[in-house]
Structures are given as C-alpha cells and as structure tokens.
Amino acid sequence: MLDLSQFQIEFDIRKPTPYFQSTPERRIRFLMEDLNASQLKEILQTIFQEDRSTQLLFVAAYIHRHRRYLAKARVGSSITIRNWKEYIVEEEATHAGVVYAHVKHVRLEEVASYCVKVYRGHTPAYIVFHDSDFLLYVSTDVVDIIGTDVNAIRSLKETYAVLYDSLHDEYVE
C-alpha cells in the first residue's frame, strides 16, 4: 500500500478517517455546510502549491467473492486518470477486499473541480489528495486537512478561525 507515514495515518476504508487518526495539532476540519464554493477553492489553493506534485488515492473497486465491483464515484469525470497504480487489499479467508487506485501529478484545477462537485452533492469516493506537506480528505460532510508541519496547521487555524470546525479539536495554544 502507498506509504503515507509522513502524515502518521493509514489510508484504509476499514479504519477511522484520516482526521481521527491524526492529532489535533496536525489537523483542521471544515464542515461543508459552513463553506461556499469560493472559500473551498481558496483553502485548496492555500494548501496545494503548483510547485509540489499533488497525488490522489481513492477506493476504485470492492472485491466480494473474487469479483470486482467498481465504486460508482465517477472520479474520472473531474480528474484525468492515467498511469494509475492499483493496490489490492484482500482478506484470504473471506475473499473480500478493496482496490485502491493511486494517481500522480493531479492538477490543482482538477482537485478543485472534484471538491466543488462533492460540495454540490456529487457522490464522493473514499478519497484523499496529498502532496509532501498536506493531505486532504473530502466527503459530502467535511473537508479534513492533515499536515506534516504543526506550524502550517496552526497558521491555517488562525487564517480560517471563523470557518474551521473545532468540535474535536482539544489542542489549545
């Protein structure tokens, strides 16, 4: 499986989402209901810089009794997917599993397009976008950001103090 150890999380649909695997000083959460599309794009432009390669990891299919069933999230409608690598995680005893797809060199405009579609109600995949500094998990409910640098997360929390959700944020300066 793809190594995301710099974020101290495991991307596994059977485990808690990345936000709950991270510590409060390394994460920030936004509720979709508190954002508008332009704020969402602004957040994405803040964390993902053009000079760093953004990558994508998502659940592409499920395996049940040796058969693959495609996840119907239509990630390819927003993002150009070519030269992907698959990681298959299958349990021997049950013959059930998950197929994760990894895509390199995703453009910021594609990330924004996908996230805005999810914001507008598009069925999301179990998906993360990441570069060397930030990991972004997006669903119809939340936008979660995990950082490798606590100072960068602190800066995001200061910049977006009125927007971010601090419900699970026990971190106090």
Residue 94 belongs to some domain of the structure: yes
Number of domains in the chain: 1
- Between CA 148 and CA 26 the distance in angstroms is 7
Those residues whose C-beta lies under 8 Å from the C-beta of residue 52, and which sit 6 or more positions away, are: 131, 132, 133
Residue 131 belongs to some domain of the structure: yes
**E-only strand ranges, 78-168:** 85-91, 96-106, 127-130, 134-138, 142-147
Strand partners for 137: 128, 144
Residue 85 belongs to some domain of the structure: yes
pLDDT reading at 173 higher than 50: no
Domain extent at residue 92 = 17-159
Residue 96 belongs to some domain of the structure: yes
In tens, the pLDDT along 42-57 reads 999 999 988 889 999 9
* Band of residue 114 on the pLDDT scale cut at 50, 70, 90: very high
pTM for this prediction: 0.91
